[in-house]
Amino acid sequence: GGTSAADGALDALVRDLAAEVGPSGVRVVGIWTAGITETFTAEKFERVLGTRLPEEALDGIRANLDGMRMTKRSPRLKEVADTATFLASDGAGAITGTWLNVTSGMYPS
């Protein structure tokens, strides 16, 4: 709940930067994602929490995140990478100064 100001600042940065560098042919696009569950590993949680979570607990976290999305499944790392690849391609040449929501509908935009 306390990230609204930071989120707004990042949104403004993308728009302002696109306006500044656009005349030089540079596009600026943000990718908005959240909770790439396949990257949630016991080792990562152990580094953060100082204790190892059982795989059942990780499965519960992943299932909870899946349930929070409009599609009822979390985005896959490959999907985010494919989106970034598309955005960097000439096929996305008309996209700039905005964010692309790659959250599988966790946050409507």
pLDDT in tens, 29-86: 999 999 999 998 999 999 999 999 999 999 999 999 999 999 999 999 999 999 999 9
Over the stretch 6-42, which tens digit does the pLDDT of each residue have?
A: 989 999 999 999 999 999 999 999 999 999 999 989 9
Q: Which domains, and CATH codes, for the chain?
A: 4-101 (3.40.50.720)
pTM of the model: 0.84
How much of the chain is helix, strand and coil, in % rounded to 5?
55, 5, 40
Amino acid at the residue 78: K
User: First and final CA of the chain: distance in angstroms?
Assistant: 16
Would you state the torsion angle of the CA atoms of residues 73, 79, 81, 87, taken in this order, to the nearest 10 degrees? -120
pLDDT of 89 above 70:
yes
